[in-house]
Chains A and B, each alone.
With several copies, the nearest count.
Chain A
Amino acid sequence: MTFEITVTSAAGAAENFRVELTRGKDGNVTECRVNGEALALDAALTQPGVLSLLIEGRSYRVGRAHSAEGMQIGISGETFEVDVRDPRSLRARKRAGAGTEGPKKITAPMPGKVVRVLAPEGTRVEAGQGVIVIEAMKMQNELKSPKAGVVKKINSAEGATVNAGDALAVIE
Chain B
Amino acid sequence: MSNMFKKILIANRGEIAVRVVRACREMGIPSVAVYSDVDRAALHVQKADEAYAIGPAAARASYLNIEKILAVAKRAGADAIHPGYGFLSENAEFAQACAMAGVKFIGPTAAAMKIMGSKTSARHAMEAAGVPFVPGSSRGLSFEEAVDVARKVGYPVMLKAAAGGGGKGMRLVHAEAELKSAYESAGSEASRAFDSGEVYIEKFIAQPRHIEVQVLADEHGSCVYLGERECSVQRRHQKVIEESPSPVVDEAMRLRMGQTAVKVAQSAGYTNAGTVEFLVDSARNFFFLEMNTRLQVEHPVTELVTGLDLVHLQIQIAAGAKLPFQQKDVQLRGHAIECRVYAEDPDYHFFPSPGKMTALQTPAGPGIREDSGVYEGWTVPLDYDPMLSKLIAYAPSRDQAIARMQRALDEYFISGIKTNLALFRRILSHPDFIAGKLDTGMLDRMLAEKPSAAKSGGNARIAAIAAAIFALNGNGNSNGNANGAHASSEAAAWKLSARKEGLRR
Give me the interface of A with B, judged by CB distance under 8 Å.
1, 3, 5, 7, 9-13, 15, 17, 19, 21-23, 28-32, 34, 38-55, 57-68, 71-80, 82, 84, 86, 109-113, 136-139, 141, 163-164
Contacts and interface: CB of A to CB of B under 8 A. Distances in A.
B49 A58 contact: yes
Nearest to A75: B459
Given A50-B359, A65-B415, A74-B415, 10 more contacts: A1-B472, A39-B465, A50-B361, A53-B469, A63-B413, A64-B476, A68-B484, A78-B456, A111-B486, A139-B352
Interface in B334-349: 343-349
Contacts, number: 271
Interface string B294-314: 000000000000000000000
Contacts of B488: 111
Which among B383, B473, B486, B497 has the greatest number of chain A C-beta atoms within 10 A? B497
B343 A40 contact: no
Interface string B472-488: 11001111000011101
Contact of B463 (A11, A28, A80, A139): A80
Question: Chain A's interface: helix, strand, loop or mixed, by majority?
Answer: strand
Interface residues of B, number: 86
A100 B451 CA distance: 28
Interface in B351-376: 351-355, 358-359, 361, 375-376
Contacts of B347: 10-12
A26 to B, nearest CB: 11
B1 interface: no
A68 to B, nearest CB: 7
Contacts of B494: 44-45
Contacts of A71: 467, 470
A51 B466 CA distance: 8
A114 B502 CA distance: 37
A2 to B, nearest CB: 9
B358 A65 contact: yes
Contacts of A55: 462, 465
A9 B52 CA distance: 29
Given A7-B464, A21-B472, A62-B463, A77 B46 contact: no
A138 B186 CA distance: 20
B351 A51 contact: no
B448 interface: no
Contact of B415 (A31, A49, A111): A49
A43 B413 contact: no
A41 B497 contact: yes
10 tightest A-B CB contacts, nearest first: A65-B415, A17-B464, A137-B352, A19-B468, A73-B463, A29-B496, A137-B386, A136-B382, A43-B496, A32-B498
25 contacts: A17-B461, A17-B465, A29-B472, A31-B498, A41-B496, A42-B495, A44-B41, A45-B494, A47-B377, A49-B358, A50-B359, A52-B41, A53-B465, A58-B49, A59-B50, A59-B51, A61-B47, A63-B359, A63-B361, A63-B415, A77-B410, A78-B459, A109-B345, A110-B354, A138-B384
Contact of A64 (B351, B466, B500): B466
Nearest to A46: B41
B354 A11 contact: no
A53 B385 CA distance: 26
A80 B458 CA distance: 12
Contacts of A111: 354-355, 382, 485-486, 488
B188 to A, nearest CB: 16
Nearest to B491: A46
